[in-house]
Structure 1
Amino acid sequence: MVNFYAFVMLCVFLIILPGPDTAIVTKNTISVGKSGGFKAALGTCCALCIHTSAATLGLSAIIMKSALLFSVLKYVGAVYLLYLGIKALWSLKKNDETTASVEVDTKRQLKNTSCFKQGFFTNLLNPKVAVFFLTFLPQFVESGSNTFFPFLIMGSTYIILTAVWFLLYVSLINRISAFMKRPKTKKIIEGITGTILIGFGIKLALEKVHN
């Protein structure tokens, strides 16, 4: 492995850049609370563990080389993002009709939340993550050397950095939740988040197959 510190710095930059994972964590932190944000982040990290294992074992390379597998994963992921985005927008109308029972609904949502699954499947069903691991990690491995342990170390490092970032991010969102959970503010943020998720879904659906 070469330039590990450069790898860490680039990872930090890439992790902070907003994407579908950040949108899901934001949505769940605002709508459910700190617990929801952490569960969504945990789901993302668990999916990253699978991506790391796939890259280490060479399974990601199979996905990249197979137009069919890439397309199936791409469209399933796109549909899932579209579903979450539409669901978020639809909830705005529902919230208007049930304003008096917001507190009860929130507690029920905390009990039956799918935050972990949303974070997990949003990341797992995104083939661009697999592509990222196979195009980004090899740049920090000496040519001709065995990639198993370097990929494992770098993948684990990426997961740890992601967990630390979301820990700080969710805590920050939760700190200003009093402002963000005001009815008007919450409605605007959830509307924006839902629209962003739909945008990510469309973008993913239009993504070209990498050969």
Structure 2
Amino acid sequence: MSFWPEFFLIAAVHLMAVASPGPDFAIVLRYAVRFGRKQAIYASIGIGMAILLHVTWSLVGIAVLIKTTPWLFKALSLAAAAYLLYIGVQAIRSKAPTDAAHAVGQNTTDVVPSGRKAFIAGFITNGLNPKATLFFLSLFAVIISPVTPLSYKVIYGLYMSLATTAWFCMLSAILTHTKIRGFLLLKGYWFDRVMGVLLLALAMHLVVSSFSS
């Protein structure tokens, strides 16, 4: 079979999925605004590495188990909702900087998390996202042909992981540009609060959909 037509189709679908706003975008925006480029990039790498988790699940058949075992998928949804609820509450509690000049000069008055913590936050945000699991289930079941060699599927998975990392790293660089970051640091707590509300809405959506399915 031909490799390139399938690959380009997967790349296009993946680009649309990764560019759409969601928990991944929210966590990168939060880290970029509050903690700076380095922490946002660590979170972006965590998000990209979590893609390999979804790919692995799909390749070894665990994703099929999740799909055919309602209680397991419900547990995953509730775990994701709990995590989104936690980071959403933290975002809503963001406060305006008490000293504007100090905020711009020193980046943030918040305690900056380590690169490891930022990586874990990104990894958990994407890894526990049921929508990401369903996306890769659909991708491997519908778009990728059953006769596609395993080696091709592995290449697809690696590409999507690297492309996701590159996308969010680019986003991190844009959001932490000096002028953009200066503005976001002064008014960014409003973005933080809005993102917090969106994260809470996503958490509630997961809870409702898990019990209505």
TM-score range, shorter chain: 0.7 to 0.9
Asked if 1:31 is matched to 2:34, the reply is: yes
Structure 1 portions without partners, runs of 5+:
none
Please give the alpha-carbon distance, in whole angstroms, between the structure 1 residues aligned to 2:188 and 2:107: 17
AA aligned to 1:36 is Q
Is structure 2 residue 83 aligned with structure 1 residue 69? Answer: no
What percentage of residue pairs aligned between the two structures are identical? 25
Which residue number in structure 1 is paired with residue 137 of structure 2?
134
Task: Choose which of 167, 171, 174 in structure 2 pairs with 1:172.
Answer: 174
Tell me the CA shift for residue 110 of structure 1.
4.1
- Distance 1:33-1:210 versus aligned 2 partners, 3 A rule: same
Instruction: Give the structure-1-normalised TM-score.
Output: 0.86
**TM-score normalised to the size of structure 2?**
0.85
SS at match of 1:72: helix
Q: Does 1:148 align with 2:165?
A: no
For residues 150-209 of structure 1, give each alpha carbon's deviation from its aligned partner in whole angstroms, at most 9, with x where no partner exists. Answer: 432222121111111112111110111011111xx1121111111111111111212248
- Where does 1:1-211 land on structure 2 (aligned, <5 Å)? 3-92=6-95, 103=106, 106=109, 108-111=111-114, 114-143=117-146, 145=147, 148-175=150-177, 176-182=180-186, 185-208=187-210
Cα offset, 1:53, TM superposition: 1.2
Matches of 2:77 and 2:175, distance apart in 1: 30
1:107 is displaced (CA, Å) by 7.0
Give distance in 1, aligned partners of 2:115 and 2:138. 38
C-alpha distance in 1 between matches for 2:76 and 2:29: 24
Structure 2 stretches lacking a partner, 5+ long: none
Q: Secondary structure at the match of 1:77?
A: helix
Helix, strand or coil at the partner of 1:142: coil
How many Å apart are 1:148 and its aligned residue?
Answer: 3.1
46-55 or 70-79: which moved more? 46-55
- For residues 132 and 22 of structure 2, the distance between their equivalents in structure 1, rounded to whole angstroms, comes to 11
